[in-house]
Copies of this chain bind each other. A is one copy, B any other.
Amino acid sequence: MNWDNEKKCFLGKMDKSKKGSIDEKVIPLLQAINAHSDYYTTSSCSGRVYFWRGTGRKNETEWIKVSHNLIDEEFFALQEKQKSGLIWLRFEPFIIHVACRNLESANRLLDIAKKIYKKSYILSASNKIIVEIHGSEFVEMPFYQDGDSLFSGSREWLVQFCTKKLTENWKKMELFLLLTKKI
Seen from chain A, the residues whose Cβ lies within 8 Å of a Cβ on chain B are 56, 103, 106-107, 110-111, 121-126, 132, 136-142, 145, 148-153, 157-158, 161
> Chain B: which residue is nearest A151 at the CB level?
B150
Q: How far is the CB of A87 from chain B (nearest CB, A)?
A: 11
- The copy count of this chain in the complex is 2
Is B150 a contact of A56 with CB atoms below 8 Å?
A: no
Instruction: Tell me, rounded to whole Å, the shortest Cβ–Cβ distance linking A79 to chain B.
Output: 20
Contacts of A103 in B (CB 8 A): 103, 125
- CB contacts (< 8 Å) of A140 on chain B: these are 138-141
Please name all residues of chain B whose beta carbon is closer than 8 Å to the beta carbon of A150 when the two chains form the complex.
151-153
A152 cross-chain contacts in B, Cβ below 8 A: 148-152
22 sample A-B contacts, Cβ–Cβ < 8 Å, listed by A number: A103-B103, A103-B125, A106-B125, A107-B125, A107-B126, A110-B125, A121-B132, A122-B122, A122-B125, A138-B138, A138-B140, A139-B140, A140-B140, A140-B141, A141-B142, A142-B151, A142-B153, A142-B158, A145-B153, A145-B157, A148-B152, A150-B153
Which of A122, A139, A145 has the most chain B CB atoms closer than 10 A to its own CB? A122
In the complex, A56→B139 CA distance in Å? 12
Contact partners of A138 in chain B: CB under 8 A: 138, 140
Contacts of A123 in B (CB 8 A): 121
Indicate if the CB atoms of B107 and A137 lie closer than 8 Å. no
Residues of B within 8 A of A153 (CB): 142, 145, 148, 150
Which chain B residues lie closer than 8 Å to A151 at the CB level? 142, 150-152
A38 to B15, CA, bound (A): 40
Among residues of B, the one whose C-beta sits closest to the C-beta of A130 is B121
Smallest Cβ distance from A84 to chain B, in angstroms? 15
